[in-house]
């Protein structure tokens, strides 16, 4: 992927990586406190069990043909947040719900509650460090305000399609 980036995007990635490296040198526990979030489309499959797919055959008969599984038309989005230990929060986007800034703020609110319950040591300094990509909902002004209000710092993501964000919790 880096070979298709413009010079500005490559320079931006280098600057972000250098800033992160310097920040980590000054604060060696930084990466231990990061909570990473990501979304994935999940397809529903109706798989047969091994017992359901087994067939009786004689030693001389040809191997049974297995039909290839096709992607289901039923899909949903899974949102999950994890740290170096395990998953901190996960949820499915309800059917028909749009993944927008309002919904993402609600997800971040539930994440914050789970961190307080599951990882109280990450909340000792009252500041969560979040790493998520630069999806439009993540970059919205409403989400930036929510993050700043709730002391949730965002580590920049160097995705080549969207412009990188700055390493701060304040809205830009």
On whether residue 117 sits in a domain, the answer given is: yes
On whether residue 42 sits in a domain, the answer given is: yes
**Torsion-angle region of residue 127: left (phi > 0), alpha (psi -120 to 50) or beta?**
beta
On whether residue 8 sits in a domain, the answer given is: yes
On whether residue 58 sits in a domain, the answer given is: no
Residue 148 has pLDDT above 70, yes or no: yes
On whether residue 162 sits in a domain, the answer given is: no
**Rounded-to-integer distance, Cα 50 and Cα 72, Å:** 20
On whether residue 10 sits in a domain, the answer given is: yes
**Rounded-to-integer distance, Cα 114 and Cα 117, Å:** 5
pLDDT reported for residue 42: 82
Residue 110 has pLDDT above 90, yes or no: yes
Specify the CATH number for the domain of residue 105: 3.30.420.10
For 12-50, what is each residue's pLDDT tens digit?
888 888 888 887 788 777 777 888 999 988 877 666 666
On whether residue 90 sits in a domain, the answer given is: yes
Domain count, the chain: 1
For 60-79, what is each residue's pLDDT tens digit?
777 766 666 665 667 788 99
On whether residue 54 sits in a domain, the answer given is: no
Sign of the Cα torsion 40, 46, 51, 53 reads negative
Domain that holds residue 92: 2-46+71-154
Q: Average model confidence (pLDDT) for the chain? A: 78
């Amino acid at each position: 992927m880096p070979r298709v980036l413009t010079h500005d995007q490559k320079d931006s990635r280098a600057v972000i990586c250098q800033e992160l490296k310097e920040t980590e040198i000054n604060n060696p526990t930084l990466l231990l406190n990061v909570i990473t979030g990501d979304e994935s489309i999940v397809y529903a499959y109706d798989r047969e069990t091994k017992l359901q797919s087994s067939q009786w055959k004689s030693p001389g008969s040809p191997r049974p043909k297995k039909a290839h599984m096709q992607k289901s038309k039923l899909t949903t989005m899974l949102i999950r947040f994890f740290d170096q230990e395990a998953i901190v929060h996960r949820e499915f986007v309800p059917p028909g719900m749009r993944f927008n800034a309002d919904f993402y703020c609600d997800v971040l609110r539930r994440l914050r509650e789970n961190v307080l319950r599951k990882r109280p040591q990450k909340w000792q300094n009252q500041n969560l460090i979040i790493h998520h990509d630069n999806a439009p909902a993540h970059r919205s002004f409403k989400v930036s305000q929510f993050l700043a209000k709730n002391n949730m710092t965002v580590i920049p993501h160097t995705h080549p399609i969207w412009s990188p964000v700055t390493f701060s919790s304040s809205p830009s």
